Amino acid sequence: MPYNCVVCVKQVPDTANVTVEAMKSDGTVNRAALPAVFNPEDLNALEAALRVRDTHGGTVTVVSMGPLGAAEVLRECLFRGADRCILLNDRRAAGSDTLATSYILSRAVKKLGACDFVFCGRQAIDGDTAQVGPQLAEKLGLPQVTYYERILDLTDRKVLIRRNMGDGWEVVETELPLLVTVLDTANKPRPPAARRVLRHKRAKAPGEVAREVQDAMPDATSQEREVEEASRIEKLKMQGLLIEQWGLDEVEADLAWCGISGSPTKVHRIQSIVLTKEGFTNVPPTQEGVRDLIHELIVDHTFG
Amino acid sequence: MIEPNRQGDVWVFAEHEDGNLSEVSLELCGKARELADRLGVSTAAVLPGRDLDGVTKPLISHGADKVYRVQDPRLEHYRTLPYARVMCRLIDKHKPQIVLYGATPLGRDLAPRVASEMRAGLTADCTDLDIGDYEDKGAGTKHSNLLLQIRPAFGGNIIATIVNHDRWPQMATVREGVMFLGEGDDKRTGEIVNETIVFEDVDEIVRVIERHREPRTVNLKGARAIVAGGAGVGSKDDFGLIHDLAGAIGGAVGASRAAVDAGLVGKEHQVGQTGTTVRPALYIACGISGAVQHRAGMEESAKIIAVNSDPEAPILSVAHYGIVGDLRTVIPMMIKSIKERA
């Protein structure tokens, strides 16, 4: 039987090259200052969903919450075989912690209607929290199977899954619908298919179309631009190249649970440890010298 | 979500498997004790499971004033939904101000589920916890004696301090091995409170068909701190010092190829081009000259300390701190200083 799969993906800053300039004064990240990449384990989540569809039939719908630039990872999903992509984009969602993020994602998944599987990457490399998957499962009222490695059997509504906990593995049996978080060891994500790249590289979200029209018609009135935007969006839709774009109103999110005000955790302080790499300290081999060094490492939280 | 409750206890979720408590749970009992003393409240451990008699007492000797036990055959092996039910019901009932979990695969599965249901804040993978004040400049409010949740973020490039001032309990998962594991005091007494939880059918929807656990091997990749020894350590006996220092800071043991070739330690510990490439927050290289093949596997570490008797050793060119001296005297000094601070 066919299964409808939803995949949640995230565009993340490439955390290999972070400087203090990339941090804003409130402690949040200035993503614009860093190269953006497809969160690695979300590619494994997408692959897991595509394999379910390729084997059993059904659909793969991808949802990504983020700035307009995150449309790029959705195009990457189209290149690899996703059927439908939705960009969740709203300024009022900025500053969301994992709880607010999972709430907003849950509103979008609910708007999509009945689905059988929700696939998430285990964690994103910018925060490494691994919290959004389980929190989204709870918000959707679904059971969760974290650390998904592979499906051993899928028959009707019953699924047998092997999970890998690092220090061992487990086989669990459960019923759909279900949320799983996928490990990087689960599969080898397929590369973009050349034919699909050619077809989908022009796919765009309405926000991107608006920017494009703005650039193309700098002297036009806002009314003229709106007409042009609407016509281009309609054309993309006809060609099946429209990346849908939803805001918090479209998913009927309660604003009290979104963004900074909807986030119980607040960033109090940020310390960069990149900048301490400079310089060399010669520590005398005495009890006093060693004690000062240990003290310094405790104060800067190198160890607890 | 519960309202801030300044009289609330400091809780630890007690993780155990096959009759063994995880070390991180005992580490957290000690840390909870310290936090609770500063707040003037008590500590408690929450212990769900099937057979709990063997795993109750160590929680008390390591710092718990109370142990909330939930004995039920459904709790024999960890499963998300029944365990989350236990935590949420007990949090609702007793209103703790802080709940700590080990940042283990199990803790990282359970804690976010509980946080979502409680609509409370949760910080992942903390490496330190403290009590302190927070000023919300936007709202113009001040909050005293909050749990400061300190964690690396952004691939380890920054250290963030997170607070949760209004939607309690304040919850965090804490990385294994970063808190000091005390010896435990067998004379400590505590109260054992047996709780009964009413489960629902939906809690049973995920069934464990088969489970397999492997004994832990060396985890260099995931280690936040690594103490590595080289040929300069000299003998297998002296390599014990490397293990001791790693134990004192809760780090993993690494080695250069020369040390492995000399038979001082197993190959699974080898760092470098032909071994494991690592980038921990702290790398302490002891008696390692620093051949380029070794440096390639560790020079991305955030902080490097080199202990070497040779002031010309190449390792010093990538180190942030150099101690030129005999590691047989320097390492015991380091361990002594760490123990004084703990």
Average pLDDT over residues A242-249: 98
Domain assignment present for A133? yes
Residues A56 and A27 in one domain: yes
Domain of B264 in residue numbering reads as: 225-341
Please count the residue pairs, one from chain A and one from chain B, whose beta carbons lie less than 8 angstroms apart: 249
Mark whether A113 and A193 lie in a shared domain: yes
A166 and A72 assigned to the same domain: yes
Helical residues (DSSP H) of A57-176, grouped into ranges: 71-80, 98-112, 132-140
Helix (H, G, I), strand (E, B) or coil at B331: helix
Test A272 with B105 for CB contact under 8 angstroms: no
A21, A168: one domain? yes
Chain A contact set for B119 (CB, 8 A): 99, 264
Does B277 share its domain with B169?
no
Contact check, Cβ <8 Å, B115/A298? no
Question: Is residue B184 domain-shared with residue B131, that is, in the same domain?
Answer: yes
A275: confidence class by pLDDT, cuts 50, 70, 90: very low
Whether B216 is covered by a domain: the verdict is: no
B52: burial class by Cβ within 10 Å (0-12, 13-18, 19+)?
Answer: buried
Instruction: Give the count of alpha carbons within 13 A of B294, CB side only.
Output: 30
- Indicate the burial class of A164 (C-beta count within 10 angstroms; 0-12, 13-18, 19 or more): middle
Do A296 and A252 belong together in one domain?
no
Predicted confidence (pLDDT) per residue in A77-115, tens digit: 999 999 999 999 999 999 999 999 999 999 999 999 999
Of A29, A135, A166, the CB nearest to B116: A135
Residue A236 inside a domain? The answer is no
Q: Is residue A227 part of a domain?
A: no
**What residues 37-96 of chain B have any CB closer than 8 A to a CB of chain A?**
80-81, 84
pLDDT surpassing 70 at residue A246: yes
User: Does the beta-carbon distance from B163 to A265 stay under 8 Å?
Assistant: yes
C-alpha A110 chain-centroid distance: 17
For helices A206-216 and A222-238, what crossing angle results, to 10°?
A: 130
Q: Rounded to whole angstroms, how far apart are CA atoms A224 and A212?
A: 14
Assigned domain for A176 exists:
yes
Q: In chain A, what percentage of residues exceed pLDDT 90?
A: 81
CATH code, domain with B307 = 3.40.50.1220
pLDDT at position A26 over 60: no
Looking at the fold, whether A283 and A162 belong to one and the same domain comes out as no
Nearest CA in chain B to A159: B206
Cβ contact (<8 Å) for B206 and A143? Answer: yes
Residue A44: inside a domain: yes
CB contact under 8 A, A301 and B333: no
Query: Considering the domain boundaries, does residue A262 fall inside one?
Result: no
Asked whether the beta carbons of residue B109 and residue A267 sit closer than 8 angstroms, the reply is: no
For residue A289, what is the nearest residue in chain B, using CA coordinates?
Answer: B323
Q: Based on the structure, what is the number of domains in chain B?
A: 2
Tokens of A184: 């990087």
| End-to-end C-alpha distance for chain A, whole angstroms | 52
Tokens of A15: 């955390």
On chain B, the residues whose CB falls within 8 A of the CB of A16 are 155
Of these ranges, A19-33, A141-155, A279-293, the one predicted with the greatest mean pLDDT is A141-155
Interchain CB distance below 8 Å, B214 and A144: no
pLDDT digits (tens, 9 = 90+) for B257-300: 899 888 899 888 988 766 677 888 899 999 999 887 788 788 88
Specify the amino acid at residue B103.
Answer: A
The answer, for B250 touching chain A at a CB cutoff of 8 Å, is yes
**DSSP states along B6-61:** TTPPEEEE--EETTEE-HHHHHHHHHHHHHHHHHT--EEEEEEES--HHHHHHHHH
**Measured between alpha carbons, how far is residue A65 from residues A56, A74, A250, B86, B245 in Å?**
28, 10, 13, 32, 44
Do residue A135 and residue B113 have CB atoms under 8 angstroms apart? yes
Tabulate helix, strand, coil % of chain A (nearest 5).
Answer: 40, 25, 35
Q: Could A167 and B105 be called an inter-chain contact, meaning their C-beta atoms sit closer than 8 Å?
A: yes
Judge whether B112 is closer than 8 Å to chain A, CB to CB.
yes
- pLDDT value of residue B180: 81
Say whether both B154 and B27 belong to one domain: yes
Examine residue B169 and say whether the peptide bond preceding it is cis (omega within 30 degrees of 0).
Answer: yes
B158 touches chain A (CB under 8 A): yes
- Is A172 within 8 Å of B206 when comparing Cβ atoms? yes
A185–chain B Cβ distance below 8 A for any pair: no
Choose the weakest-confidence range: B156-165, B205-214, B233-242: B156-165
Sign of CA dihedral B55, B56, B61, B66: positive
Query: Does any CB of chain A come closer than 8 Å to the CB of residue B27?
Result: no
Lowest-confidence range among A19-23, B175-179, B224-228, B317-321? A19-23
CB A273, CB B281: distance < 8 Å = yes
What is the largest distance, in Å, between two alpha-carbon atoms of chain B?
A: 68
Whether residue B165 lies inside any domain: the answer is yes
**What average pLDDT does the structure give for chain B?**
92
Joined together, the tokens standing for residue A136 give 């989204």
Please report the residues numbered 174 through 213 in chain B whose beta carbons come closer than 8 angstroms to any beta carbon of chain A.
178-180, 202, 205-213
Q: Is the pLDDT of residue A5 over 70?
A: yes
Together in a domain, A76 and A173: yes
Can you give the pLDDT at residue A25?
A: 60
Rounded to a whole number of angstroms, the distance from the CA of B192 to the nearest CA of chain A is 30
Residue A168: band (very low, low, confident or very high) from pLDDT cuts 50, 70, 90: confident
Mean pLDDT of B167-179: 89
The mean predicted confidence, pLDDT, of chain A is 92
User: Does the structure show a pLDDT above 80 at B178?
Assistant: no
Closest CA to B332 of B220, B265, A297, B323: B323
| CA atoms of B185 and B182, how far apart (whole Å) | 9
By Cβ distance, the residue of A160, A270, A297 closest to B209 is A160
Distance CA A16, CA A35 (A): 10
Determine the structural domain holding residue A170 and report its residue range: 3-205+243-257
CB within 8 Å: A129 and B305: no
CATH number, domain of A63, equals 3.40.50.620
Residue B218 with chain A: CB contacts under 8 Å:
none
- Subunit contact B154:A130, Cβ cutoff 8 A: no
Could you tell me if B296 lies within 8 Å of chain A, comparing CB atoms? no
The interface residues of chain A toward chain B in range 211-270, judged by CB-CB distance below 8 A, are: 260, 263-270
SS3 B236: helix
A285–B249 C-beta distance less than 8 A: no
Tokens of B273: 């081009």
| Number of domains chain A contains | 2
